[in-house]
Amino acid sequence: MLNLRIALLTFLSIQICACASVSKQKAYEKMVTEFRDRLELLSGAESEDCGSFGRGEDGNVEVACANGAMAAGKAFRLYGRDLGIDSILYKGVAVDASGKMFLVVGDSDRHGGGSWRAHPAVSSFSCETRSGVFTPENVFECVGRKEQ
């Protein structure tokens, strides 16, 4: 009887972990969708999608696209992905047709990755209009940011 209880407890523990993993994956996917939708909403549906780059990628092609769009006075959007301590972070820049700039930040788990249930968040900020050239190092800087 004791062996049956141990087997049952082991089985239930595995099921709980599996459900938590699925829940976190769905929360992450929902955050990514909301993040991309917010970038497009702020930059405009006709804005140029300059793509994305992640840690370990140089981002030069995506940033060159943003610089080209900015020089031509066109709306654009691009984002980067990075690993936080215990979650995945997304940062994006959106510039609309009038030149207004926004920073969008997505976090796959704003409370940290230690809990069994994820708490994703997407926030957006207006930024002061920038002059100069974007680089992969400065493209997500937002001067004078105000939460939207």
Strand partners, 72: none
pLDDT, tens digit (0-9, with 9 covering 90-100), for 114-123 = 555 667 889 9
Residue 4 lies in a domain: no
Residue 105 lies in a domain: yes
Residue 15 lies in a domain: no
Residue 38 lies in a domain: no
Residue 92 contacts by C-beta under 8 Å, 6 or more apart in sequence?
35, 39, 52, 77, 78, 79, 80, 103, 104, 105, 106, 140
pLDDT at residue 111 is higher than 80: no
Residue 72 structural domain: 46-148
Mean of per-residue pLDDT scores for the chain: 84
pLDDT at residue 18 is higher than 50: no
Residue 16 lies in a domain: no
Residue 7 lies in a domain: no
- The structural domain count of the chain equals 1
Query: Per-residue confidence at 5, pLDDT binned at 50, 70, 90?
Result: low
pLDDT at residue 106 is higher than 90: yes
What whole-number percentage of the chain has pLDDT above 90? 55
Q: Say what the pLDDT of residue 98 is.
A: 95
